Structure 1
């Protein structure tokens, strides 16, 4: 029988950028959870780092540390909290501001805004004792302890700065839930004979990554050109499963030749209806959607319909993506131009 051990502290505090959240951060937060009745985790950075926006950091922390109270800030979120607490708003301190300013900011935030005074602060940094002393002065009550967790980085030998500069090289220190969201998925759409599969392979080669082929085409060929109604849901599921498996193998980008949105189109086109689950799969979102324009002669390979159908597909994609408020980039011209234009868009993303 396990003997119950009371938590040593009432409320612990962990503060960080978490850009990105790595296993060292998770160790720190777990140590706080093990030693406290309640843990407050605060994340902020000014300026923000591209790819590590507040909503993404919040999702990581909530997924990996569900028992903690998560507060992820930018200036707008801070202003909303100040209004809710009835205190005069401030802006976040800059990353380059003096450490003492950051410590007093956190004391004000916990005491005046969040109304969550702490009696312990957990960190792996040498500024921890000074941080705890500043917090104690804000509360003017019981002292605030500093709990040092793996300061020599022996359990998790990595730093947030190193991971941020090259998350792929340090991906072993990222939980799958974090790592997978750092892989940007590119979806290529287009009507029949619009060059999307050729573009998918060429773009993946240019990026030094993998591409996920169109499973619907593979199944159609395996079944001698015959697809049943139930096959369409199977295609949608398998397409996303293959994307998920490929995401675990790549680093920065994953190129996807088609999406369940295409499967949803064909299901309605062929059978006049579709399963509710397939309609849900069609809502799957990507970081970038590229639409191949039908701007070269239609090539009949024995499996396609005709040019009028290709044009109708193109018009449908444009209308449907707009209806769903999904931004997309139209690629035109020869393959080399399409690859160059796609890379240019990605570099600006």
Structure 2
């Protein structure tokens, strides 16, 4: 094997990390005994530093000689200023120390022309790769401007963070599951990266079925009458579980899905269901609803024109008007984008797709990096 470098350095904003960044790190990992990746983020940027560090660490978790550290860098960029250069380099050296690495660096890997100057300031060899973006035609700027176009260049955790989450909610038997499935299917039919669009089912319904089955099993064992859904007991722990399982499923789907993730309910909807069954929303469920990843769009299904269908797991038709109005009130309080859908199945889907397309056309609103 050819001679290896002892310690390679890769620096960047990784805003966000993409396939070109990982090509650079992989090249360093294959050529060096040790590699330090220093993530440098400014406070004005939209993706938190800790997220970027975690994403890169996850990608390289099975390469122990690759270590990742993050530093806040609020210095401007001026390649003609020795003072600013010195400030940036000092922060990079802080990053090397934070990574637990020896300070001496003998190779700097970069895809930018400034890599020559940077290597010189570390007294290291400059290794310039793919400066023309021919191997991986992607950049952080392109990703921020159009994540959809760069979707196949992003690793699962980055996709999960960028995925625009569309939540369908509503009272029982108002077509939430039908609409959410139809919406996901219509997006998948577009092909390309949208062909990976995922649908997240409602865990609360799954839990209801499981609790009812368990209750009926106990009744059979005790030779008692078979219970119905109205005999099931609920407590705060059940709603905590609903929130946790729903978010777990959502996060799994977001990692390997397309730019839009369609969710049949979420923790915000669970606050209303808990209020309906227990009379109030618990602090833990409220905390879940506040901590979930941002929602790009809520779609509220109206009971208007939808016949109630009792499948044995539902509460009853008389509760639908109250639930619907409560959902409207809760959504209005959130300051989020939401749309109420009425009409037949085809009309609801058409309006939902129009709203999703408008949301995507509006972009992600990621801040420009500090220049």
2:46 aligned counterpart, secondary structure = helix
1:343 is aligned to 357
The count of aligned residue pairs is 289
Deviations 1:188-210 (A, max 9, x none): 12233433222211110121122
The answer to whether 1:228 aligns with 2:233 is yes
Whole-angstrom CA distance in 2 between matches of 1:8 and 1:285: 37
- TM-superposed CA distance for 1:257, in Å, is 0.6
- TM-superposed CA distance for 1:286, in Å, is 3.4
Counterparts in 2 of 1:316 and 1:127: CA distance versus 1, 3 Å: same
2:152 aligned counterpart, secondary structure = coil
Counterparts in 2 of 1:15 and 1:28: CA distance versus 1, 3 Å: farther
Counterparts in 2 of 1:288 and 1:146: CA distance versus 1, 3 Å: same
1:109 aligned residue (48, 71, 84): 84
Whole-angstrom CA distance in 1 between matches of 2:173 and 2:181: 15
TM-score by length of 2: 0.62
Q: How does 1:31-46 map to 2 (within 5 A)?
A: 34=34, 40-42=38-40
1:131 is aligned to 117
- TM-superposed CA distance for 1:185, in Å, is 1.9
Structure 2 portions without partners, runs of 5+ = 1-5, 58-66, 94-103, 189-196, 213-227, 364-371
Verify the 8 A CA contact 2:7 2:35 in the aligned structure 1: yes
Structure 1 portions without partners, runs of 5+ = 1-6, 45-52, 73-77, 82-89, 93-101, 137-142
- TM-superposed CA distance for 1:340, in Å, is 2.5
- TM-superposed CA distance for 1:255, in Å, is 0.3
Verify the 8 A CA contact 2:274 2:280 in the aligned structure 1: yes
Whole-angstrom CA distance in 2 between matches of 1:298 and 1:286: 30
Q: How does 1:192-231 map to 2 (within 5 A)?
A: 192-208=172-188, 209-222=197-210, 223=212, 224-226=228-230, 227-229=232-234, 230-231=237-238
Verify the 8 A CA contact 1:20 1:160 in the aligned structure 2: no
Query: Which gives a bigger RCO, structure 1 or 2 (Cα 8 Å, sep 6+)?
Result: 2
Verify the 8 A CA contact 1:194 1:292 in the aligned structure 2: no
2:11 aligned residue (5, 9, 14): 14
Whole-angstrom CA distance in 1 between matches of 2:49 and 2:298: 28
Q: How does 1:41-190 map to 2 (within 5 A)?
A: 41-42=39-40, 54-56=45-47, 58-63=49-54, 64=56, 67-71=68-72, 78=74, 103-104=79-80, 107-111=82-86, 116=91, 122-125=108-111, 127=113, 130-132=116-118, 136=121, 144-148=123-127, 151=129, 158=136, 160-161=138-139, 164=143, 166-171=149-154, 174=155, 176-190=156-170
1:312 aligned residue (322, 328, 337): 322
2:304 aligned counterpart, secondary structure = coil
Whole-angstrom CA distance in 2 between matches of 1:312 and 1:271: 15
1:287 is aligned to 295
Q: Which of 60-69 and 278-287 deviates more?
A: 60-69
Whole-angstrom CA distance in 1 between matches of 2:130 and 2:187: 37
1:191 is aligned to 171
Considering only aligned residues, what root-mean-square deviation do their CA atoms show, in Å?
A: 4.0
Verify the 8 A CA contact 1:187 1:286 in the aligned structure 2: no
Verify the 8 A CA contact 1:124 1:148 in the aligned structure 2: yes
1:98 is aligned to none
2:97 is aligned to none
Counterparts in 2 of 1:295 and 1:347: CA distance versus 1, 3 Å: farther
Whole-angstrom CA distance in 2 between matches of 1:167 and 1:190: 34
Verify the 8 A CA contact 1:212 1:243 in the aligned structure 2: yes
1:34 aligned counterpart, secondary structure = strand
